[in-house]
Structure 1
Amino acid sequence: MGHMKFDDILLALILRKPITGYDAKKWLDTEGIFMRANADQSQIYRTLHRLARNGLIEAKREQRDGAPDAKVYSATPAGAQHLRELATTQYEPPPRWQEPDFMVRYNVLGVLQPQVLIPLIETEIHFRRDQIARFRGRDRHIQVAPTHIPIDRELAQEILDSSHEYSAGAMDDWIAWLEEQLLRWRARLQVPASTPPGP
């Protein structure tokens, strides 16, 4: 499956706690900004209407003292079932590890179905280790062809090497964190470590 859609992220938020459109915008401006690009109020309301039309959420008017009535959205049983099914779909790691899809699944779907955390983390670790094995040792020497703008080859190489050094360290830190989480959730969910295949 591809990345989680905005509809699913909003539905998961509503499943945790009934919200208004204003609450959704507030969440997207703070915690949610790390999971997806921000959305304007009209996009939020269009998404809420679509979720309601599809029977995944329902809206009720709530009276508030000294303030206009608010439309509060809550998840339906069909909405909860939709997210349970989504939690069991196969995670496909994107080529760039900084994409937010892993963390969206970890934070959103892991709350609903904690048992999905282990295969999610294992898939990410395997994919990133494979990337390291295939690409870390690649030839990164810069070849500079004559152009109308003179390019300092040594400077260009230094820039490339420094960015590679940062990226490699960040990838190693990411895998170390994933391995810690894997140990944590195996212990918490009482799932034994996979045994490597025999000779």
Structure 2
Amino acid sequence: MLDTVILGLLALRPLSGYDLGKWMDGPGRFIGYRVTLPQVYRTLAKLCERELVEFQVDPREGKPDAKVYTLTASGRRTLLEWARTPYEPAPRPMDPDFMVRFLLGGMLGRDIAIETLRIELDYRRNQVRTPTRIGELVDALAPVDEIDPRWAARVLQAGHEQGRASTAAYIGWLEVTLADFENQAD
């Protein structure tokens, strides 16, 4: 996935490896996908080997020179092909794969963004319609002596309710965003 994130960011503008890492620690942290700077540099090297990105050396006075990366034509095609592959939601709501697909694929076209939102929304709606079995889990508790089963049941139930509330809010965001995108003219 880091390959795709880097290709998507480089589609926006040329960046150094340091700038990519800084973005991922800053605004990119809300995608939910964490990486280290060494991972960024290793991935850039692999993308260069695959001829998906290239770099120019940017001399810096009083500092080490920087490699500034750009997409190649092959990198642009690869990114667009990825954005047009069918999106399959992960079982976990708010998975980083969705946000990467929505942001980096969606920026390549309104149709891609809308289709990604629709698929994610349909999947999450079906997910919350499926009965949960938290009661069965709680009823079957046979904890070790140090755990009070009634207290464990309360904690498990509270965690379950937080997950449902969070998913409901996420579905609300998906609905509003999809409606906004569908109602906006090109």
TM-score calculated relative to the size of structure 2: 0.89
1:96 CA drift (Å): 0.8
Deviations 1:143-194 (A, max 9, x none): 233x65253222122112212222111111111110001111111256xxxx
**RMSD between aligned alpha carbons?**
1.8
Change (3 A) 1:181 1:45: same
- Is 1:178 aligned to residue 174 of structure 2? yes
CA–CA distance in 2 between the matches of 1:9 and 1:122? 22
Range with greater deviation from structure 2 (123-132 or 29-38) = 29-38
2:125: which partner in 1? 129
2:56: which partner in 1? 60
Alignment-mate amino acid for residue 135 of structure 2: R
2:135: which partner in 1? 140
Change (3 A) 1:103 1:189: farther
Instruction: Name structure 1 gaps, 5 residues minimum.
Output: 191-199
2:107/2:113 contact within 8 Å kept: no
2:8: which partner in 1? 12
Aligned pairs, number: 183
1:114: which partner in 2? 110
1:30: which partner in 2? 26
1:33 CA drift (Å): 2.6
The percentage of counterpart residues that share the same residue type is 36
Pairing partner for 2:89 from 76, 90, 93? 93
> SS at 2:69's partner residue?
strand
Instruction: Name structure 2 gaps, 5 residues minimum.
Output: none
Alignment-mate amino acid for residue 117 of structure 1: A
Alignment-mate amino acid for residue 84 of structure 2: T
Pairing partner for 1:83 from 64, 79, 83? 79
- Is 1:47 aligned to residue 43 of structure 2? yes
1:188: which partner in 2? 184
1:93/1:124 contact within 8 Å kept: yes
Change (3 A) 1:111 1:150: same
- Is 1:157 aligned to residue 127 of structure 2? no
TM-score calculated relative to the size of structure 1: 0.84
Change (3 A) 1:150 1:46: closer
